[in-house]
């Protein structure tokens, strides 16, 4: 996209920030570094956007790199992949990713508060990692840049960025925002032990502390924390005209530093839960305040956006509008931007000889047998046990189908360091064994279970082979597997059985919707999918494919970015105050 700068049309810079860079780095025995683009939902979605816009991608490269090698690695990442790294120590990365993001926010956002293990050390690591991101991004950005922050790993980043860009110590800002909520004693101990930092003190060389501090709304807790400021971080207050909002003050300071007019967008790839679930989170205020410094906050569905707004009302006491919220003089617009895929990748992929020959050999292998496909990361939100139970009920009630239908279930290994994922793996192994033991024969097994990831060509051939696809997520932000299956079914017109708890259910009209907790109705849906006539399947598929072709990854990215370009940060009715 181009900035709207009159005659002087300069290219609008876009910075995408996600927890993980889409590049895997390795070092061989000769000390040579190698880089490989990786795959995944976000990578596919953003690579779709690359057709129409260029951007720099900032994120964690997946491992720490020795300081002496960083210059070389950074240069190559930037020149060859348009990527820029945020280095985190292995311990910090583990606590941020496995600890807070995947053991606290992930379960809670997917309505599993029972699986949430809140731990103050993990919260501190989350803050710390978000600060490291803020340092790198704030150094990188320039006046007028657009910064698009992705997902639940970086929910404090918008607030930290605003405070760093406008010269305020991020640590000071965090403390101010937290309103002294975390008890000092506990906090300090954990800070020292775990992170090796001085509590409440900006670390020289780590935090941007040279700028101007805005200490207007200091409360007592903060004064206590701020008294240990290192020399050189002395507070210099600019003289602001009376009546300016925080937003206006931030912009004034940013202008002096050549970093004004920066727009920040945030997109959440998971559901945002009902405020009644969200309020369970001990740091519920901080997380909301973290994203409220955005100009645009996007969700997959209308319901997630509504839940976010009502959490802001109930937890922060803020008044909201149907399309956003005014906070500290800035208007954070809130909207729905359902993600998609690039369906042509699958349509064209299917034409490749390798895929065609693999498809033929699979068709021969499963001749006379219908195939149901399941593709999920091995994650408790994907409802794999529910899927297996439903298949068991179906085969019990319809023994005529035994030997005539198989479920090919791909379960991609995921987050294997987190205990809940290890438990799930054992549970699924047991269920698969039990059902195969019960209905299988020497010649036939009802479930073909693969605990590994497969190459794109193999995945495409499997999608094309299957007569039905079964998505039974108990919660899922969107679910791209459903989109990919539909894109691969131009010949067979297979049936899409889709959980009503996946965001995709709001859009994919033409699917058979199920409640995965209702095992009987899921078993009935399997039956319906297998027995559906060709005309009905064709008309369903046509509707589904029309949608998937229109609402692509590219459409998602450009719609979000165009909207962000349009926004000024000011409330629709004009400047506050
Ligand atoms: C999160 C949200 C939301 C999987 N196995 C293989 C493989 N994959 C690819 C699929 C698909 C992607 O991974 C999975 O995407 P999903 O959307 O289904 O699920 P999450 O990973 O949980 O993604 C989700 C998404 O973010 C985007 O916003 O939809 O709700 O949870 O693209 O194809 N790809 C290959 N081999 C595999 O074995 N090549």
pLDDT tens digits, one per residue of 439-462: 999 999 999 999 999 999 999 999
Sequence-separated contacts (24+) of 197-205 with Cβ below 8 Å: 197/128, 198/228, 199/225, 200/171, 200/175, 200/225, 200/226, 200/228, 201/171, 201/228, 201/229, 201/230, 202/169, 202/170, 202/171, 202/172, 202/229, 202/230, 202/233, 204/230, 204/232
271 lines ligand 1 (CB under 6 A): no
Token pair for residue 443? 């010649």
Q: CA 484, CA 340: separation in Å to the nearest integer?
A: 9
Q: pLDDT at position 132, please?
A: 96
User: What pLDDT is stored for residue 215 in this prediction?
Assistant: 31
Three-state secondary structure call for residue 509: strand
DSSP H or E stretch at residue 149: strand 146-150
Kind and range of the H or E run holding 375: strand 370-377
Q: How far is CA 115 from the centre of its chain?
A: 19
Any bridge partners for residue 83, and if so which? 57
* Cβ of 456 below 6 Å from ligand 1: yes
What pLDDT, on the 0 to 100 scale, is given for residue 353?
Answer: 96
Predicted pLDDT of residue 114 = 86
As a whole number of angstroms, the distance between CA 151 and CA 154 comes to 6
For residue 424 and ligand 1, the question of a CB distance below 6 A is answered with no
Provide the pLDDT for residue 509.
96
Q: Identify the segments of the chain with pLDDT beneath 70.
A: 1-10, 39-41, 44, 47-53, 168-238, 573-577
- Whether 251 is in the pocket of ligand 1, judged by its Cβ within 6 Å, is no
Query: How far is the centre of ligand 1, averaged over its atoms, from the C-alpha of 295 (Å)?
Result: 28
3-state secondary structure (DSSP) of residue 529: helix
Asked if residue 2 has its Cβ within 6 Å of ligand 1, the reply is no
This model of the complex carries an ipTM of 0.97
Output the pLDDT for position 217.
Answer: 33
Predicted model pTM: 0.88
C-beta of 238 in contact with ligand 1 (< 6 A): no
- Residue 200 is predicted with a pLDDT of 40
Residues whose CB is less than 8 angstroms from the CB of residue 215 and which lie 6 or more positions away in sequence, other chains included: 172, 226, 235, 237
Give Cα separations from 375 to 64, 223, 282, 409, 484 (angstroms): 31, 53, 34, 6, 10
pLDDT for residue 287: 97
Q: What is the whole-number distance in angstroms between the Cα of residue 472 and the centre of ligand 1?
A: 14
Q: 147: how many CB neighbours lie within 10 A of its CB? A: 27
CA of 481 to the centre of ligand 1 (A): 6
For ligand 1, atom 39: residue with the closest CA: 456
pLDDT at 234: 41
Residue 251, CA distances (Å) to 248, 256, 319 in order: 5, 9, 24
Ligand 1, atom 30, lies closest to the CA of: 477
Q: Answer whether 453's CB lies under 8 Å from 467's CB.
A: no
pLDDT value of residue 182: 38
């Amino acid at each position: 996209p181009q900035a709207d700068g009159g005659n002087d049309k300069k290219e609008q810079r876009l910075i995408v920030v996600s927890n993980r860079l889409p590049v895997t780095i390795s070092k061989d025995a000769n000390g040579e570094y190698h880089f490989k683009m990786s795959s995944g939902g976000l990578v596919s979605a953003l690579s779709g956007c690359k057709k129409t816009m260029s951007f720099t991608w900032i994120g964690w490269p997946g491992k720490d790199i020795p300081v002496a090698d960083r210059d070389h690695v950074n240069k190559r990442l930037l020149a060859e992949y348009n990527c820029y790294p945020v280095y985190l120590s292995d311990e910090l990365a583990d606590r941020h990713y496995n600890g807070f993001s995947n053991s606290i926010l992930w379960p809670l956002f997917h309505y599993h508060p029972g699986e949430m293990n809140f731990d103050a050390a993990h919260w501190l690591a989350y803050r710390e990692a978000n600060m490291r991101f803020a340092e790198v991004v704030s150094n990188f950005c320039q006046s007028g840049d657009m910064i698009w922050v992705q997902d639940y790993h970086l929910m404090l980043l918008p607030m930290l960025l605003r405070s760093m860009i406008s010269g305020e110590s991020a640590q000071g800002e965090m403390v101010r925002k937290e309103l002294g909520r975390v008890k000092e004693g506990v906090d300090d101990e954990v800070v020292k032990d775990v992170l090796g930092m001085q509590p409440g003190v900006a670390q020289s060389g780590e935090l941007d502390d040279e700028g101007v501090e805005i200490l207007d709304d200091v409360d007592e807790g903060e004064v206590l924390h701020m008294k240990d400021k290192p020399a050189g971080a002395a507070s210099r207050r600019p003289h602001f005209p009376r009546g300016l909002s925080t937003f206006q003050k931030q912009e004034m300071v940013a202008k002096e530093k050549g970093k004004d007019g920066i727009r920040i967008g945030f997109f959440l790839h998971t559901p945002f839960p009902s405020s009644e679930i969200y309020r369970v989170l001990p740091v519920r205020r901080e997380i909301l305040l973290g994203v409220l410094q955005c100009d645009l906050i996007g969700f997959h569905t209308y319901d997630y956006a509504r839940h976010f707004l009502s959490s802001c009302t109930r937890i922060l006491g803020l008044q909201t509008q149907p399309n956003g919220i005014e906070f500290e003089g800035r208007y954070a617009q809130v909207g729905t931007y359902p993600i998609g895929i690039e369906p042509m990748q699958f349509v064209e992929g299917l034409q490749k000889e390798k895929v065609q020959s693999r498809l033929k050999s699979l068709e021969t292998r499963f001749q006379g047998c219908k195939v149901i496909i399941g593709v999920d990361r091995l994650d408790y939100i994907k409802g794999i046990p529910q899927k297996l139970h439903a298949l068991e009920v179906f085969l019990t009630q319809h023994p005529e189908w035994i030997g005539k239908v198989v479920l090919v279930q791909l379960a991609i290994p995921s987050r294997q360091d987190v205990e809940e994922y290890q438990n799930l793996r054992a549970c699924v192994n047991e269920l698969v064994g039990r059902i195969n033991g019960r209905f299988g024969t020497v010649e036939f097994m009802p479930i073909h279970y693969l605990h590994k990831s497969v190459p794109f060509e193999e995945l495409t051939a499997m999608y094309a082979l299957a007569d039905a696809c079964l998505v039974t997520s108990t919660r899922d932000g969107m679910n791209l597997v459903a989109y990919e299956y539909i894109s691969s079914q131009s010949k067979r017109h297979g049936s899409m059985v889709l959980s009503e708890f996946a965001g995709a259910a709001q859009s994919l009209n033409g699917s058979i919707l199920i409640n995965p907790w209702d095992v009987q109705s899921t078993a009935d849906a399997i039956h319906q999918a297998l027995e559906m006539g060709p005309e009905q399947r064709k008309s369903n598929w046509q509707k589904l494919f029309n949608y998937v072709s229109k609402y692509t990854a590219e459409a998602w990215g450009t719609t979000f970015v165009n909207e962000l370009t349009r926004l000024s940060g000011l409330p629709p009715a004009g400047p506050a105050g």
